[in-house]
Amino acid sequence: MAESKKFQISIEILNFLLQKKDYISTTEIQKHLVSTGLLKSDSAKSSDRRKLNRTLNFLESIGYIESKDTEAKGRTPQKWRINKKALPYLVSISDKELISLLTLSAFIPNNYKNLSIFSPFFDLVFRLSDRLSFQEREIISNSFINESQFLEKFLEFKEEVLNEIHNAIIDKVALRIRYKNSTEVFKIYPIKIFVYNGIIYVGAVKNKVYRTFLLAGINILEKLKEKTPEFFFKKYKNITFDIEREKPFLFGIKVAKKPSLEYFQAPQIFTTQFFFSREKDNYLIYLVGYTGSRFTSRFLVEEVIDIIPPTENIILKAKELDLKKRFPTLTFSLKENEKRFFLFKEELEEFIAQRLELLQKLNYSSLK
């Protein structure tokens, strides 16, 4: 085989295997090379098969690929995959994958796109999309946009603090910090960074208790060598805000019908919704609520026309769907759900009273 042809085949084999997640047989590789015109025959007994075997063995000998079964003999074709340890920076990406990656980048809110934590991602996207023209990149990037809400906030914070906390999470180490204007110095095990309504929070364990901290309020004094227990990452995987402050409960609501939703068979109106049914004049929805002002203040964004306290039927539906996997601190006790629902009702009444007071002020000022 001419050296130039052998080189072409080697490159195409690497390119083909880079796009596969698992081992690929010699037969599949041979068929692919035939489809590209680099080989003429896809027969297992042809001279092309012998050429291919020699090339594959050569690529394995220099560590670029690895075989699955070193004992494979007879008619059983060997299977191969890329040796990722030998080629950690070699990337092959299809046009579909590139378009998907560019589209995904559009979902990062504009306020966060310039953060250094995302710079490597955008550098990668730019490097991979270099084969596209500027106009093509623009069309793809603007093809699928996540429109932000009117009331989304964005508060200033120290970017270096964000980077240090993120590195501590990745490195699984503790931090010594001071919070807000307090003089108290304490240790935290950072678990996650999350954004809610435009504000960045840090979920961390302090004194064996999960806590939520405002990123803007954290002053890092020292990165410790002490490792974060793996147990913390597993236990708080599905938790964002403080467990003690917000407790989940089950209840139902009826929402006014909307023409824009009539097209959809089962629209999800609330992120914690787990049951939806169309009734004559409304939508019946079961969902998980939370005690505390955060859920209450956002709850009436939708046109809720009735609120249904927890019932055995609602709890039975939640059990069928095994909602505790998604909401670890949820309870299936009717009595406890009623207790948490009552706390929510009190918070909701106070919230509505504040809004009514505001309207009365507006009405009074308009009459002056």
CA-to-CA dists, residue 243 to 53, 169, 317, angstroms = 59, 20, 24
The per-residue pLDDT for 203 is: 96
* Distance in angstroms (rounded) separating the CA atoms of residues 261 and 358: 31
The per-residue pLDDT for 71 is: 64
* Distance in angstroms (rounded) separating the CA atoms of residues 358 and 356: 5
Q: Between vectors from CA 113 to CA 109 and to CA 119, what angle results, nearest 5°?
A: 145
What is the pLDDT tens value at each position of the chain, 368 positions in all? 567 788 899 989 988 888 887 899 999 999 999 999 999 998 888 999 999 999 999 999 988 899 987 666 556 788 999 887 776 666 667 788 888 988 888 888 888 888 999 988 888 888 778 888 889 888 988 888 877 777 777 778 899 999 999 999 999 999 999 999 999 999 999 999 999 888 899 999 999 999 999 999 999 999 999 999 999 999 998 888 887 778 999 999 999 998 888 888 889 999 999 999 999 889 999 999 999 888 988 888 788 999 999 999 999 999 999 999 889 889 999 999 999 999 999 999 999 999 899 888 887 666 55
Q: Which CATH number fits domain 3-82: 1.10.1660.10, 1.10.10.10, 1.10.10.1590, 3.40.50.1820?
A: 1.10.10.10
The per-residue pLDDT for 70 is: 67
The per-residue pLDDT for 157 is: 87
CA 2 vs. chain centroid, Å, equals 48
Q: Which residue from 111, 107, 103 is spatially nearest to 152, judged by alpha carbons? A: 111
The per-residue pLDDT for 68 is: 87
Residue 198: is it exposed, middle or buried by C-beta count within 10 angstroms (0-12/13-18/19+)? Answer: middle
The per-residue pLDDT for 258 is: 86
Hey, is 39 helix, strand or coil?
coil
Residue 44: is it exposed, middle or buried by C-beta count within 10 angstroms (0-12/13-18/19+)? Answer: middle
Q: Report the predicted TM-score, pTM, of the whole model to 2 decimal places.
A: 0.69
The runs of H, that is alpha helices, within the chain are: 3-18, 26-36, 47-61, 95-105, 119-128, 134-141, 159-171, 230-235, 293-299, 312-320, 334-367
Amino acid in the structure at residue 280: K
Fold for the domain defined by 159-235 = SH3 type barrels. (2.30.30)
Residues 6+ apart with CB under 8 A from 258: 303
The per-residue pLDDT for 111 is: 82
DSSP code for 129? G
First to last CA, the chain: 96
Q: Packing angle between helix 26-36 and helix 3-18, nearest 10 degrees?
A: 120
3-state helix, strand, coil in the chain (%, to 5): 45, 20, 35
Task: Quote the tokens at residue 121.
Answer: 């991602």
